[in-house]
Amino acid sequence: MKSRRPVNIAGRPFPMVPKLLATSLGVGFLPVAPGTWGALLAIVLWLPLFIWADPDVTFWVTLAAAIAYAVAGTWASSVSETYWGKDPVAACADETVGQWISLLPLSYGIAVEPWWMILVSLTLFRFFDIFKPLGIRSMEKLPRGYGMMADDILAAVYSVVVLVVINHFILA
């Protein structure tokens, strides 16, 4: 279970760069549902790209951002455990990465109705992330930031599958 409030257990100041990366630019410090705030930040950062860029550009930039932030966020989340203990709630970079992955089908224009599908994407991702069915919980057993990131990436993959099924079989 994630701790409610990060307490510095290292006895020294937490460096700013890994702290900002681990907390998705500080939204992890918001008092209620920091994981959801991390996912919402992903949507807010993604929306201008979705609105103004070509679908191909949106897809590839989203994928590149997810990969880059997965690497940086895994490192920063590992550092956060040194200061705040195992899997701290404020470390929500994994939710930001997971939400970007969940948005990939919408980025590429797969969705028939993309605007309300953004909410569906968020809901699916948070459902899989919170309840951790279908092997997602087992990913948390990986060490340090790898486990923190891997469970959200798998939750995002399941979200993508459901979104594609909804759009291909139900809305098509």
Residue 73's alpha-carbon distances to 23, 106, 131, in angstroms, are: 9, 23, 22
117-144: string of b/e by CB count within 10 Å (b at 16+)? bbebbbebbbebbeebeeebeebeeeeb
Q: Which pLDDT does position 112 carry in this prediction?
A: 57
Instruction: Give the dihedral sign, CA 68/71/75/81.
Output: positive
Are the CB atoms for 167 and 117 separated by under 8 Å? Answer: yes
Domain boundaries defined on the chain: 16-170
Helical (H) or strand (E) element with 125: helix 114-131
- Structure tokens of 157? 């993959």
CB proximity list for 68: less than 8 A, separation 6 or greater: none
CA dihedral in degrees (21, 22, 24, 25; nearest 10)? -50
Q: What is the pLDDT along the chain (172 residues), one digit of tens a residue?
A: 454 567 888 778 899 999 999 999 999 999 899 999 999 999 999 999 999 999 999 999 999 999 999 999 999 999 999 999 999 999 999 999 999 999 999 987 665 567 889 999 999 999 999 999 999 999 999 999 999 999 999 999 999 999 999 888 776 6
Token readout for 6 is 């990060």
Is the pTM higher than 0.85? The answer reads yes
Cα 145 from Cα 88, distance rounded (Å): 10
- Residues ≥6 apart with Cβ < 8 Å to 37: 24, 27, 28, 30, 92
Listed in sequence order, the residues at least 6 apart from 121 whose beta carbon sits closer than 8 Å to its beta carbon are 99, 102, 103, 105, 106, 159, 163
In the chain, the amino acid numbered 18 is P
